[in-house]
Amino acid sequence: MHVDMDAFYASVEIRRDPTLRDTPLVVAGQGPRGVVLSATYDVRALGVHAGQATSRARRLAPHALFLSPEHDDYARVSGGVMEVLRSITPRVEPLSLDEAFLDLAGVTRRLGPPETVGESIRARIFDEQGITCSVGIADTKFTAKLAGALAKPDGLSVIRPEQVVDFLHPLPVDRLWGVGERTGALLTDLGLTTIGDVAHTSVETLSRALGAAAGRGLYELAWGRDRRPVIPWEPERSIGAEETFPTDVDDPVAIRRTLLALAHRTATRLRRAKTAGRTVTIKIRFADFSTITRGRTLREATDVGHEIYHVACLLHGALGLERARLRLVGIRVEGLVGGGCPRQLVLGERDPGRREVERAADAVRGRFGDSALTAATLLDRGPRARGPRGR
Protein backbone atom coordinates (compact mmCIF):
# COMPACT_ATOMS: atom_id res chain seq x y z
CA MET A 1 0.00 0.00 0.00
CA HIS A 2 1.16 3.52 -0.86
CA VAL A 3 -0.38 6.28 1.27
CA ASP A 4 0.14 9.88 0.15
CA MET A 5 -1.31 13.01 1.75
CA ASP A 6 -3.15 15.35 -0.62
CA ALA A 7 -1.40 18.73 -1.04
CA PHE A 8 0.07 18.11 2.41
CA TYR A 9 1.54 21.48 3.38
CA ALA A 10 -1.43 23.38 1.99
CA SER A 11 -3.82 20.99 3.75
CA VAL A 12 -2.13 21.59 7.10
CA GLU A 13 -2.48 25.35 6.59
CA ILE A 14 -6.20 24.92 5.88
CA ARG A 15 -6.57 22.71 8.93
CA ARG A 16 -5.09 25.46 11.06
CA ASP A 17 -7.22 28.19 9.44
CA PRO A 18 -10.45 26.72 7.99
CA THR A 19 -11.37 30.11 6.47
CA LEU A 20 -8.74 29.30 3.80
CA ARG A 21 -10.63 26.20 2.60
CA ASP A 22 -11.87 27.78 -0.63
CA THR A 23 -8.80 30.00 -1.14
CA PRO A 24 -6.26 29.23 -3.90
CA LEU A 25 -3.22 28.52 -1.74
CA VAL A 26 0.52 28.10 -2.28
CA VAL A 27 3.00 27.23 0.46
CA ALA A 28 6.39 28.47 -0.66
CA GLY A 29 9.63 30.02 0.46
CA GLN A 30 9.60 33.77 0.06
CA GLY A 31 12.21 35.95 -1.61
CA PRO A 32 14.03 35.61 -4.94
CA ARG A 33 15.30 32.11 -4.13
CA GLY A 34 12.08 30.71 -2.72
CA VAL A 35 10.57 27.50 -4.12
CA VAL A 36 7.09 26.03 -3.96
CA LEU A 37 6.49 23.25 -1.42
CA SER A 38 2.80 22.64 -2.06
CA ALA A 39 -0.27 24.10 -3.72
CA THR A 40 -3.97 23.39 -3.72
CA TYR A 41 -5.25 21.50 -6.73
CA ASP A 42 -6.99 24.50 -8.31
CA VAL A 43 -3.62 26.26 -8.40
CA ARG A 44 -1.85 23.15 -9.71
CA ALA A 45 -4.21 23.22 -12.67
CA LEU A 46 -2.54 26.51 -13.66
CA GLY A 47 0.90 24.87 -13.85
CA VAL A 48 2.15 25.51 -10.31
CA HIS A 49 4.03 22.55 -8.82
CA ALA A 50 6.41 21.63 -6.03
CA GLY A 51 10.02 22.61 -6.64
CA GLN A 52 9.06 25.49 -8.90
CA ALA A 53 10.50 28.95 -8.25
CA THR A 54 8.11 31.06 -6.18
CA SER A 55 8.52 33.94 -8.62
CA ARG A 56 7.33 31.71 -11.46
CA ALA A 57 4.38 30.48 -9.40
CA ARG A 58 3.33 34.07 -8.65
CA ARG A 59 3.20 34.81 -12.36
CA LEU A 60 1.11 31.71 -13.05
CA ALA A 61 -1.29 32.27 -10.13
CA PRO A 62 -1.22 35.97 -9.14
CA HIS A 63 -4.59 35.60 -7.37
CA ALA A 64 -3.36 32.84 -5.00
CA LEU A 65 -2.44 33.41 -1.36
CA PHE A 66 1.25 32.62 -0.77
CA LEU A 67 2.16 31.46 2.74
CA SER A 68 5.59 30.84 4.24
CA PRO A 69 6.08 27.25 5.49
CA GLU A 70 5.71 26.32 9.16
CA HIS A 71 7.88 23.20 9.25
CA ASP A 72 7.30 22.31 12.88
CA ASP A 73 3.54 22.14 12.29
CA TYR A 74 4.05 19.86 9.29
CA ALA A 75 6.32 17.60 11.33
CA ARG A 76 3.69 17.30 14.08
CA VAL A 77 0.92 16.34 11.66
CA SER A 78 3.26 13.94 9.86
CA GLY A 79 4.03 12.26 13.18
CA GLY A 80 0.31 11.75 13.79
CA VAL A 81 -0.15 10.26 10.32
CA MET A 82 2.74 7.83 10.79
CA GLU A 83 1.28 6.74 14.14
CA VAL A 84 -1.92 5.78 12.35
CA LEU A 85 0.02 3.78 9.76
CA ARG A 86 2.14 1.98 12.36
CA SER A 87 -0.99 1.01 14.27
CA ILE A 88 -1.91 -1.05 11.17
CA THR A 89 1.48 -2.71 10.67
CA PRO A 90 5.03 -2.17 11.97
CA ARG A 91 6.29 -2.55 8.40
CA VAL A 92 6.00 1.10 7.36
CA GLU A 93 8.57 2.81 5.12
CA PRO A 94 8.22 6.61 5.14
CA LEU A 95 9.37 8.27 1.93
CA SER A 96 8.92 11.82 3.23
CA LEU A 97 6.75 13.69 5.72
CA ASP A 98 3.64 13.03 3.67
CA GLU A 99 3.91 9.58 2.10
CA ALA A 100 4.82 6.02 3.01
CA PHE A 101 4.67 2.40 1.89
CA LEU A 102 3.04 -0.30 4.02
CA ASP A 103 3.56 -4.06 3.74
CA LEU A 104 0.08 -5.58 4.14
CA ALA A 105 1.29 -9.17 4.54
CA GLY A 106 -0.75 -10.63 7.40
CA VAL A 107 -2.78 -7.46 7.89
CA THR A 108 -5.74 -8.51 5.74
CA ARG A 109 -6.28 -11.64 7.86
CA ARG A 110 -6.94 -9.41 10.85
CA LEU A 111 -8.56 -6.35 9.32
CA GLY A 112 -10.28 -7.51 6.16
CA PRO A 113 -9.62 -7.04 2.44
CA PRO A 114 -7.16 -4.39 1.21
CA GLU A 115 -9.94 -1.94 0.26
CA THR A 116 -11.30 -2.08 3.81
CA VAL A 117 -7.86 -1.47 5.30
CA GLY A 118 -7.25 1.44 2.93
CA GLU A 119 -10.59 3.11 3.65
CA SER A 120 -10.04 2.67 7.38
CA ILE A 121 -6.67 4.43 7.14
CA ARG A 122 -8.14 7.27 5.09
CA ALA A 123 -10.99 7.74 7.55
CA ARG A 124 -8.70 7.73 10.59
CA ILE A 125 -6.25 10.23 9.09
CA PHE A 126 -9.12 12.58 8.24
CA ASP A 127 -10.71 12.16 11.66
CA GLU A 128 -7.51 12.49 13.71
CA GLN A 129 -5.46 14.91 11.60
CA GLY A 130 -8.09 16.77 9.59
CA ILE A 131 -6.46 16.16 6.19
CA THR A 132 -7.16 13.80 3.30
CA CYS A 133 -4.95 11.23 1.65
CA SER A 134 -4.94 8.99 -1.41
CA VAL A 135 -4.18 5.28 -1.30
CA GLY A 136 -2.85 2.90 -3.94
CA ILE A 137 -2.77 -0.86 -3.37
CA ALA A 138 -1.02 -3.43 -5.57
CA ASP A 139 1.43 -6.33 -5.39
CA THR A 140 4.55 -4.12 -5.85
CA LYS A 141 5.79 -0.72 -4.70
CA PHE A 142 5.94 0.59 -8.25
CA THR A 143 2.36 -0.25 -9.16
CA ALA A 144 0.96 0.82 -5.78
CA LYS A 145 2.54 4.26 -6.10
CA LEU A 146 1.14 4.72 -9.60
CA ALA A 147 -2.29 3.56 -8.45
CA GLY A 148 -2.29 6.08 -5.62
CA ALA A 149 -1.23 8.92 -7.92
CA LEU A 150 -4.11 8.20 -10.28
CA ALA A 151 -6.55 8.12 -7.34
CA LYS A 152 -5.72 11.69 -6.29
CA PRO A 153 -7.12 13.65 -4.67
CA ASP A 154 -8.86 11.89 -1.78
CA GLY A 155 -9.29 8.53 -3.46
CA LEU A 156 -8.36 4.84 -3.31
CA SER A 157 -7.33 2.50 -6.10
CA VAL A 158 -6.63 -1.24 -5.99
CA ILE A 159 -4.77 -2.93 -8.85
CA ARG A 160 -5.02 -6.71 -8.57
CA PRO A 161 -2.23 -8.94 -9.96
CA GLU A 162 -4.23 -9.93 -13.02
CA GLN A 163 -4.90 -6.24 -13.80
CA VAL A 164 -1.31 -4.99 -13.60
CA VAL A 165 -0.30 -5.31 -17.25
CA ASP A 166 -3.51 -3.76 -18.57
CA PHE A 167 -3.13 -0.94 -16.04
CA LEU A 168 0.52 -0.16 -16.79
CA HIS A 169 0.91 -0.52 -20.53
CA PRO A 170 -1.23 2.43 -21.72
CA LEU A 171 0.55 4.86 -19.36
CA PRO A 172 3.17 7.29 -20.74
CA VAL A 173 6.74 6.14 -20.50
CA ASP A 174 7.71 8.91 -18.05
CA ARG A 175 5.62 7.15 -15.38
CA LEU A 176 8.37 4.54 -15.09
CA TRP A 177 10.63 5.08 -12.09
CA GLY A 178 14.00 6.34 -13.23
CA VAL A 179 12.75 7.97 -16.43
CA GLY A 180 13.62 11.64 -16.28
CA GLU A 181 14.10 14.17 -19.05
CA ARG A 182 17.28 12.64 -20.47
CA THR A 183 16.15 8.99 -20.32
CA GLY A 184 12.74 9.99 -21.66
CA ALA A 185 14.39 11.63 -24.67
CA LEU A 186 16.43 8.48 -25.37
CA LEU A 187 13.30 6.33 -25.22
CA THR A 188 11.44 8.73 -27.49
CA ASP A 189 14.31 8.47 -30.00
CA LEU A 190 13.65 4.72 -30.02
CA GLY A 191 9.95 5.38 -30.70
CA LEU A 192 8.92 4.25 -27.19
CA THR A 193 6.19 6.50 -25.80
CA THR A 194 4.22 4.18 -23.50
CA ILE A 195 5.13 1.66 -20.82
CA GLY A 196 3.72 -1.00 -23.14
CA ASP A 197 6.21 0.02 -25.83
CA VAL A 198 9.06 -0.53 -23.37
CA ALA A 199 7.64 -3.89 -22.31
CA HIS A 200 7.62 -5.12 -25.91
CA THR A 201 11.18 -3.99 -26.62
CA SER A 202 14.02 -6.44 -26.04
CA VAL A 203 16.26 -6.07 -23.02
CA GLU A 204 19.24 -6.01 -25.38
CA THR A 205 17.90 -2.97 -27.25
CA LEU A 206 17.11 -1.13 -24.02
CA SER A 207 20.52 -1.98 -22.58
CA ARG A 208 22.37 -0.66 -25.62
CA ALA A 209 20.51 2.64 -25.34
CA LEU A 210 20.44 3.07 -21.55
CA GLY A 211 23.06 0.77 -20.07
CA ALA A 212 22.65 -2.78 -18.82
CA ALA A 213 21.26 -2.01 -15.35
CA ALA A 214 18.84 0.72 -16.44
CA GLY A 215 17.66 -1.26 -19.46
CA ARG A 216 16.93 -4.41 -17.46
CA GLY A 217 15.33 -2.37 -14.65
CA LEU A 218 12.90 -0.52 -16.92
CA TYR A 219 11.99 -3.73 -18.75
CA GLU A 220 11.11 -5.45 -15.45
CA LEU A 221 9.06 -2.47 -14.23
CA ALA A 222 7.20 -2.32 -17.55
CA TRP A 223 5.91 -5.83 -16.83
CA GLY A 224 5.02 -4.91 -13.26
CA ARG A 225 7.92 -6.76 -11.69
CA ASP A 226 9.46 -4.95 -8.71
CA ARG A 227 11.24 -6.97 -6.01
CA ARG A 228 12.00 -4.15 -3.62
CA PRO A 229 10.63 -4.87 -0.14
CA VAL A 230 9.10 -2.38 2.27
CA ILE A 231 11.94 -1.29 4.55
CA PRO A 232 10.56 -0.41 7.99
CA TRP A 233 11.23 2.96 9.53
CA GLU A 234 14.46 3.46 11.43
CA PRO A 235 14.97 6.12 14.10
CA GLU A 236 16.47 9.37 12.88
CA ARG A 237 20.23 9.57 13.25
CA SER A 238 20.27 13.34 13.33
CA ILE A 239 17.91 16.31 13.66
CA GLY A 240 18.55 19.80 12.33
CA ALA A 241 17.40 22.84 10.39
CA GLU A 242 18.84 25.14 7.77
CA GLU A 243 17.98 28.41 6.06
CA THR A 244 18.78 29.80 2.62
CA PHE A 245 19.11 33.58 2.65
CA PRO A 246 17.06 35.62 0.13
CA THR A 247 20.33 37.31 -0.89
CA ASP A 248 23.91 36.43 0.02
CA VAL A 249 24.80 37.62 3.54
CA ASP A 250 28.15 38.73 4.94
CA ASP A 251 26.90 40.42 8.13
CA PRO A 252 28.14 38.38 11.15
CA VAL A 253 25.31 39.72 13.32
CA ALA A 254 22.68 38.52 10.84
CA ILE A 255 24.39 35.15 10.53
CA ARG A 256 24.52 34.65 14.30
CA ARG A 257 20.89 35.68 14.59
CA THR A 258 20.03 33.02 12.04
CA LEU A 259 22.11 30.45 13.94
CA LEU A 260 20.15 31.33 17.08
CA ALA A 261 16.83 30.72 15.33
CA LEU A 262 18.09 27.43 13.85
CA ALA A 263 19.48 26.27 17.20
CA HIS A 264 16.14 26.79 18.94
CA ARG A 265 14.25 25.17 16.07
CA THR A 266 16.54 22.15 16.26
CA ALA A 267 16.26 21.93 20.04
CA THR A 268 12.48 22.05 19.85
CA ARG A 269 12.48 19.16 17.41
CA LEU A 270 14.83 17.19 19.65
CA ARG A 271 12.55 17.64 22.66
CA ARG A 272 9.47 16.71 20.66
CA ALA A 273 11.24 13.54 19.53
CA LYS A 274 12.23 12.85 23.17
CA THR A 275 15.85 12.64 22.19
CA ALA A 276 19.10 14.56 22.57
CA GLY A 277 22.45 14.57 20.81
CA ARG A 278 26.15 14.89 21.57
CA THR A 279 27.53 16.24 18.29
CA VAL A 280 26.64 19.70 16.97
CA THR A 281 27.47 20.36 13.31
CA ILE A 282 27.12 23.56 11.31
CA LYS A 283 26.74 23.70 7.54
CA ILE A 284 27.94 26.70 5.54
CA ARG A 285 27.22 27.24 1.84
CA PHE A 286 29.01 30.09 0.12
CA ALA A 287 27.81 32.33 -2.70
CA ASP A 288 29.60 30.10 -5.22
CA PHE A 289 27.63 27.05 -3.89
CA SER A 290 30.70 25.45 -2.30
CA THR A 291 29.76 23.90 1.06
CA ILE A 292 31.64 23.02 4.24
CA THR A 293 30.63 21.43 7.54
CA ARG A 294 32.25 21.57 10.96
CA GLY A 295 31.28 19.68 14.10
CA ARG A 296 32.08 19.35 17.79
CA THR A 297 31.21 16.53 20.18
CA LEU A 298 30.03 17.48 23.67
CA ARG A 299 30.68 15.69 26.94
CA GLU A 300 26.93 15.24 27.47
CA ALA A 301 24.01 15.02 25.10
CA THR A 302 21.87 18.15 24.88
CA ASP A 303 18.43 19.24 23.73
CA VAL A 304 18.88 22.88 24.82
CA GLY A 305 18.79 25.55 22.14
CA HIS A 306 21.12 27.92 24.01
CA GLU A 307 23.81 25.22 24.31
CA ILE A 308 23.48 24.28 20.64
CA TYR A 309 23.72 27.94 19.66
CA HIS A 310 26.84 28.44 21.79
CA VAL A 311 28.63 25.55 20.06
CA ALA A 312 27.44 26.70 16.62
CA CYS A 313 28.87 30.18 17.26
CA LEU A 314 32.21 28.70 18.32
CA LEU A 315 32.35 26.61 15.16
CA HIS A 316 31.39 29.55 12.97
CA GLY A 317 33.87 31.87 14.65
CA ALA A 318 36.71 29.39 14.21
CA LEU A 319 36.21 29.48 10.44
CA GLY A 320 37.14 33.15 10.19
CA LEU A 321 34.32 33.99 7.78
CA GLU A 322 33.63 37.55 8.91
CA ARG A 323 33.68 38.89 5.34
CA ALA A 324 32.59 35.79 3.44
CA ARG A 325 29.28 35.97 1.59
CA LEU A 326 27.03 33.10 2.61
CA ARG A 327 24.07 31.61 0.79
CA LEU A 328 22.94 29.11 3.44
CA VAL A 329 23.62 28.15 7.04
CA GLY A 330 22.41 25.08 8.89
CA ILE A 331 22.70 23.30 12.21
CA ARG A 332 22.43 19.57 12.82
CA VAL A 333 22.65 17.54 16.03
CA GLU A 334 23.92 13.97 15.71
CA GLY A 335 24.78 11.11 18.03
CA LEU A 336 21.20 10.94 19.25
CA VAL A 337 20.20 9.18 22.45
CA GLY A 338 16.64 8.27 23.37
CA GLY A 339 14.68 8.92 26.52
CA GLY A 340 15.12 12.68 26.71
CA CYS A 341 18.22 14.26 28.17
CA PRO A 342 19.39 13.07 31.62
CA ARG A 343 22.09 15.36 32.98
CA GLN A 344 24.69 15.43 35.69
CA LEU A 345 23.80 18.18 38.16
CA VAL A 346 26.26 21.07 38.13
CA LEU A 347 27.20 22.83 41.37
CA GLY A 348 25.92 26.40 41.28
CA GLU A 349 23.68 25.90 38.24
CA ARG A 350 20.65 28.19 38.15
CA ASP A 351 17.37 26.61 39.13
CA PRO A 352 15.37 26.55 37.02
CA GLY A 353 17.98 26.24 34.28
CA ARG A 354 17.70 26.92 30.58
CA ARG A 355 16.28 23.48 29.88
CA GLU A 356 13.30 24.13 32.11
CA VAL A 357 12.79 27.56 30.55
CA GLU A 358 12.84 26.14 27.03
CA ARG A 359 10.44 23.34 27.97
CA ALA A 360 8.08 25.91 29.42
CA ALA A 361 8.32 27.80 26.15
CA ASP A 362 7.44 24.56 24.32
CA ALA A 363 4.25 24.36 26.37
CA VAL A 364 3.32 27.95 25.51
CA ARG A 365 3.92 27.40 21.78
CA GLY A 366 2.05 24.10 21.90
CA ARG A 367 -1.02 25.91 23.18
CA PHE A 368 -0.83 29.24 21.35
CA GLY A 369 1.19 28.44 18.21
CA ASP A 370 4.84 28.48 17.21
CA SER A 371 4.92 32.26 16.81
CA ALA A 372 3.58 32.94 20.32
CA LEU A 373 7.00 33.05 21.98
CA THR A 374 10.50 33.63 20.64
CA ALA A 375 13.90 34.94 21.64
CA ALA A 376 13.98 38.73 21.97
CA THR A 377 17.00 38.85 19.66
CA LEU A 378 14.82 37.52 16.85
CA LEU A 379 12.02 40.05 17.18
CA ASP A 380 13.53 42.54 14.74
CA ARG A 381 13.40 40.00 11.91
CA GLY A 382 9.89 41.22 11.14
CA PRO A 383 6.63 39.31 10.67
CA ARG A 384 6.54 36.30 8.43
CA ALA A 385 4.63 36.60 5.18
CA ARG A 386 1.50 34.77 6.22
CA GLY A 387 -1.28 36.88 4.79
CA PRO A 388 -3.99 37.91 7.28
CA ARG A 389 -2.34 35.88 10.07
CA GLY A 390 1.14 37.41 9.74
CA ARG A 391 1.26 39.49 12.91
Q: Could you tell me the pLDDT band of residue 386, with boundaries at 50, 70 and 90?
A: very low
| Residue 388 placed within a domain | no
In the predicted model, is pLDDT for residue 346 greater than 80?
no
Final residue in a domain of this structure, among 213, 234, 255? 234
What pLDDT is attached to residue 385? 41
Q: Could you tell me the pLDDT band of residue 345, with boundaries at 50, 70 and 90?
A: low
Q: Could you tell me the pLDDT band of residue 380, with boundaries at 50, 70 and 90?
A: low
Q: Could you tell me the pLDDT band of residue 82, with boundaries at 50, 70 and 90?
A: very high
* 353 shares a domain with 256: yes
* 212 shares a domain with 340: no
Q: Check: pTM over 0.75? Answer yes or no.
A: no
* 175 shares a domain with 47: no
Mean pLDDT of the chain: 89
What pLDDT is attached to residue 384? 43
| Residue 84 placed within a domain | no
| Residue 118 placed within a domain | no
Our count of domains for the chain comes to 3
* 351 shares a domain with 269: yes
| Residue 90 placed within a domain | no
In the predicted model, is pLDDT for residue 340 greater than 70?
no
* 268 shares a domain with 335: yes
In the predicted model, is pLDDT for residue 80 greater than 80?
yes
Write out pLDDT tens, residues 283-293. Answer: 999 988 889 99
More confident residue, 339 or 81: 81
In the predicted model, is pLDDT for residue 219 greater than 70?
yes
More confident residue, 141 or 339: 141
* pLDDT-wise least confident of 80-94, 106-120, 311-325, 345-359: 345-359
* 325 shares a domain with 263: yes
* 243 shares a domain with 226: no
Q: Could you tell me the pLDDT band of residue 321, with boundaries at 50, 70 and 90?
A: confident
What pLDDT is attached to residue 149? 93
Final residue in a domain of this structure, among 234, 256, 277? 234
CATH number for the domain harbouring residue 51? 3.40.1170.60
More confident residue, 338 or 20: 20
* 244 shares a domain with 372: yes
Q: Which residues contact 153 (CB under 8 A, 6 or more apart)?
A: 6, 7, 41, 132, 134
Final residue in a domain of this structure, among 234, 252, 276? 234
| Residue 191 placed within a domain | yes
CATH number for the domain harbouring residue 213? 1.10.150.20
The domain in which residue 363 lies consists of 238-377
Question: Rounded mean pLDDT of 198-212?
Answer: 94
* 242 shares a domain with 230: no
What pLDDT is attached to residue 320? 87
Q: Specify whether 99 is catalytic.
A: yes
* 160 shares a domain with 257: no
* 259 shares a domain with 369: yes
What pLDDT is attached to residue 32? 81
| Residue 88 placed within a domain | no
Question: Rounded mean pLDDT of 260-273?
Answer: 91
The percent of residues in the chain predicted with pLDDT above 70, rounded, is: 92
* 186 shares a domain with 208: yes
Question: Rounded mean pLDDT of 142-146?
Answer: 97
What pLDDT is attached to residue 120? 95
| Residue 79 placed within a domain | no
What pLDDT is attached to residue 281? 96
Selecting among 13, 70, 93, 99, the annotated active-site residue is 99
| Residue 208 placed within a domain | yes
Q: Could you tell me the pLDDT band of residue 224, with boundaries at 50, 70 and 90?
A: very high
What pLDDT is attached to residue 355? 77
CATH number for the domain harbouring residue 256? 3.30.1490.100
What pLDDT is attached to residue 339? 62
Does 4 appear as a known binding residue?
yes
